[in-house]
Chain A
Amino acid sequence: MSRRQTLALLAVVGVCIALYLTLYKIGVIGVLSCSIGSCETVNTSKWSMLLGIPIAAWGLGAYIALLVLAMVGSGEAHEASVPISRVIVALAGWSVLFSAWLTYQELFVIRAICIWCVSSAVLWLVIFILSVADLRAVSRAE
């Protein structure tokens, strides 16, 4: 499996997490499955919304964008495309920073931790590392 295909796979995992949290936030899912931490405390706090939209929905958008980019970049026509790699690195880098800020809010402001949010933050970190490796490999081959 290529790096871009792995990225697509991780994006699908991210879509599932973000969709789950978004559906909870808009009331479709009644109770969050949360064996560690206090997911509800975090997801009902004021930091769970940004510009009137649930944070999870922003995450969902970012994961879908990554999925589209990684799928297109996995095709034969674009598998050596440097611009696609750059866009993925930019998206993943921004998401890592944003996730780090959210994790800081959880730990030091809300004082509660949401295992799904932390999982998403770790996922973005893995995606970022993989995307940098992909960019280096594609740039070297060019």
Chain B
Amino acid sequence: MADKGVDGGRGRRAGVVNKQRGNSSQRFYLVLALVAVVGALFIVRAARAPRAIANVTTAPITAAKAEGYLLGNPNAPVQIMEFADFECPACGNFAVITEPDVRNRIVNTGLASYRFFDFPLPMHKNTMAASNAAACAADQGKFWEMHDELFRNQPEWNGESDNKDNPKKVFLGYAKSLGLNTDAWEKCFDSQAHQSRILANQAEGVRRNVQSTPTFVIGTRQIPGALSYDAFKAYVDSAAKEAPPVATKTDSAAPKTAAKSTTKGATK
């Protein structure tokens, strides 16, 4: 009788433990399912979000030579190339924080020339439009001014901004503030007159196996990722040591003059 009582007690306790375990498992599976569903919804929403919209052009695109946009003396001892996307945040940081020093202390001193190559990434909705805006500003000799405006104000026009569906309105504002002939700029922008030039710059990056933006080519070295000024200068100094000497008595004045005259203008 006593044994029966003990057994009965154990049975009840085991029952309670099993019930508790069952409840705990149920709670666990519920939380697990909840987390999985929230994660799945987030991913499905991201996958369904609008992708980068291709620019539509009716004009046939003829192949162009990749030239980039030049800053400084083209005959400087070191040649620098930058492959960048106007909508890429890392490129924007570099352009705003480091590039002014690079221009003042490396390009303007005639140590190196600097060429910007468009490398629009497909995931950025408005980058092609921004490249187009800068190319049209280059027609009026103000590529670098537009370049600076675009990078400085990325949040005003990028694919996540309030103006994401009409970046042209913002770009037109920059064109006005830079004193461009807005009619000519607008005509150029609407007709995508420089699409082939932009694509040629991009193709040059693909040919060089550029895999991220910004990517720099300094002399013979290709360096992915934004660089600090000190690292940048170290690469330039290293490239300068490898470069053949260019300054002779007869042409030593030429780079200075050229650097001064081309510093703010872009070659076509």
Residues of A within 8 A of B (CB): 1-2, 5, 8-9, 12-13, 15-16, 19-20, 23, 28-33, 38, 40-41, 44-46, 74, 76, 109-112
Contact = CB atoms under 8 A, between A and B. Distances in A.
A112 B212 CA distance: 11
Nearest to A4: B28
Given A23-B43, A44-B212, A109 B225 contact: yes
Contacts of A44: 121, 211-213
Nearest to B85: A40
Chain A binding site: helix, strand, loop or mixed by DSSP? helix
A13 B43 contact: no
Interface residues of B, number: 36
B49 A31 contact: yes
Contact of A20 (B43, B121, B211): B43
A29 B40 CA distance: 13
A85 to B, nearest CB: 18
A90 B52 CA distance: 42
22 contacts: A2-B24, A8-B28, A12-B35, A16-B35, A16-B38, A30-B51, A31-B52, A31-B123, A31-B159, A33-B46, A38-B88, A38-B90, A41-B225, A41-B226, A44-B121, A45-B225, A74-B28, A110-B212, A111-B90, A111-B226, A112-B90, A112-B225
Given A12-B35, A20-B43, A41-B213, A46 B224 contact: yes
B225 A110 contact: yes
